[in-house]
Amino acid sequence: MTQFINDKESLVTEAIDGLLVTSGGSLCRLDGYPHIKVVYRTDWDKSMVALISGGGSGHEPAHAGFVGQGMLTAAVCGEVFASPSVDAVLAGILAVTGDPGCLLIVKNYTGDRLNFGLAAERARALGHKVEMVIVDDDIALPDLPQPRGLAGTLFVHKIAGAAAQAGSSLEDVAAVAAKVVAGAASIGMSLDTCTVPGSTKEDRIAEGKAELGLGIHGEAGVEQVSLSGARDAMNRVLEKLAPHAGDQPIVALLNNLGATTPLEMSVLANELAQSKQFKNLTHIVGPSPLMTALDMHGFSVSILPVDEALLSALQEPVALATWPGVQALSDVKLERLPDGLSPIQPIASEHPQTRDTITAICNLLIGAESELNSLDAKSGDGDTGSTLSAAARSLIQNIDKMPLADLTQLMPALGNELSQTMGGSSGVILAIFFNATGDACARGLSIEKALSVGLERVSEVGGAVAGDRTMVDALKPALDALPSGLAKAAAEARTGADNTANIHKAKAGRAAYVPKENLAGHNDPGAEAVALVFEGLAKRI
């Protein structure tokens, strides 16, 4: 099983019922399953213009997730990526339309246009006032006679919804919706295709490539492009949107197409805000999943030039968790660090041999990044090598600030550096180790004894001892053997690290939560790193 579904035939109806049972009673549906899937507001009294949208499912939270006060009155849901039937649309119109009439908000796909259009004609024949707007905000294919409707549809939902909520007439609601459609422009980019339930996943996007201008039903994009990162991705999207920006203030909607992580979306939001493409970008909606394409690993940007009235309508509050609101862009606010947090910087001093040794060890850890990440993937989150290499690179960069000629100052300086540049518990552990070692050196202990004191302090604070499948399994025997020379210490470190492959139950660290079958036969990455360091020292000194 690759998806949490029961079967594709009942997927949409079960998902709709899941939305309803968690709505607190604010939503209901017509009793027409499986062919008629209409979700609408339970508090609707037909005294205002009704807004109805919909289309194929698979774009959640669109469309049913935006049914609520200030946005949609009803959503007509089709099967995954399939238009709802004429009867389903007509049922939705008849269920919520009163004397003020209703506006159908339809994305520009042939099936949606035909089915919503015929339903509108039938509703008019029954005496209802019905208007329809077609959203065609996709600018990926500029020569296409019928541009597709994408996430810019959400601008229409929100602004027309605010007008309807304010009691505007059907003619006025339709007019403001048409104004939004005329100004909205959208384009998307993805690193992967989506997985349609019951179908084989299409694998058309090559490694290292992204697809620009693809549709929300998995349709192929305009082109596949190579990317150098999030900034490059955002700039390519904004270059396509720039001709549609105009001179008015712009609101951008940053949409998660389904499987892009919140961390990635925040990076993309920063790139959007910092971009020089739009000097008149003033507000942002998102980043949020708004109109997704199942599990597509991508994003889209929609822009809308706004006047005061459109911006005010977008900012009208709604009681919908799916709508993230509109936020004014602002600069990153900085506050100085509290007094006493920043460590006292020691006076830098030079010692060529110490400099060369530290640099060599740092380069060794940088070179072992992939190997250590691979080991950590067996028992953790696969980042031990990256964590150590990042700290090593930072240490090389800052080595000129180090008191290399004085061990009593160098050890705590190393600890402070690592505590700031290493993530997770590793940086804290090594900071404790080197600070305690520095204290012992200041008391006159030899470096061999001082290092053992540092290890004792780590065990005291962290609780790990030899046999727990941590770096201590390599570090303790190495330090015990250090008075006999580095070669002996390196040999003991290697034996200790290799022995961790036979420890199938960790008692400390993240590996303690991992099943024993994941640990058997694999060295602990922390212990392996210690062994590599001692082996490097033995070869060098």
- The least confident of 25-29, 38-42, 77-81, 486-490 is 486-490
Of the candidate CATH numbers 3.40.50.10440, 3.40.50.410, 3.40.50.300, 1.10.150.300, the domain formed by 1-135 belongs to: 3.40.50.10440
Provide mean pLDDT across the span 485-500: 91
- The per-residue pLDDT for range 162-176, each reduced to its tens digit, is 999 999 999 999 999
* pLDDT for position 514: 47
Contact by Cβ (8 Å): 63, 290: no
In the block, tokens 């997704």 appear at 292
Active site residue 217: yes
Name the token pair of 202: 């299409």
Beta bridge partners of 38: 76
- List the chain domain ranges: 1-135, 136-194+209-331, 352-540
Superfamily of domain 136-194+209-331 in CATH is Dihydroxyacetone kinase; domain 2 (3.30.1180.20)
266: which DSSP letter?
H
- C-alpha distances (whole Å) from 517 to each of 99, 471, 500, 520 are 68, 20, 13, 5
- The per-residue pLDDT for range 353-375, each reduced to its tens digit, is 989 999 999 999 999 999 988 88
What confidence tier does 526 reach under pLDDT thresholds 50, 70, 90? confident
Q: How far is CA 421 from the centre of its chain?
A: 23
What number of helices (H) and strands (E) belong to the chain? 18, 13
Residue 511 clears pLDDT 60, i.e. is over it: no
- Average pLDDT taken over every residue of the chain: 90
* pLDDT for position 506: 52
Of the candidate CATH numbers 1.25.40.340, 3.30.465.10, 1.10.1200.10, 3.30.390.10, the domain formed by 352-540 belongs to: 1.25.40.340
- The per-residue pLDDT for range 54-69, each reduced to its tens digit, is 999 999 999 999 999 9
- The per-residue pLDDT for range 86-111, each reduced to its tens digit, is 999 999 999 999 999 999 999 999 99
* pLDDT for position 311: 97
Q: Coil, strand or helix: which one is 226?
A: strand
* Nearest-angstrom CA–CA distance, 450 and 442: 9
Residue 53 clears pLDDT 80, i.e. is over it: yes
- C-alpha distances (whole Å) from 257 to each of 192, 224, 301 are 11, 17, 10
Give the type of residue at 32. G
The active-site residue out of 59, 128, 157, 217 is: 217
Provide mean pLDDT across the span 466-471: 84
- The least confident of 14-18, 289-293, 326-330, 431-435 is 431-435
* pLDDT for position 507: 53
* pLDDT for position 385: 86
* Nearest-angstrom CA–CA distance, 21 and 18: 5
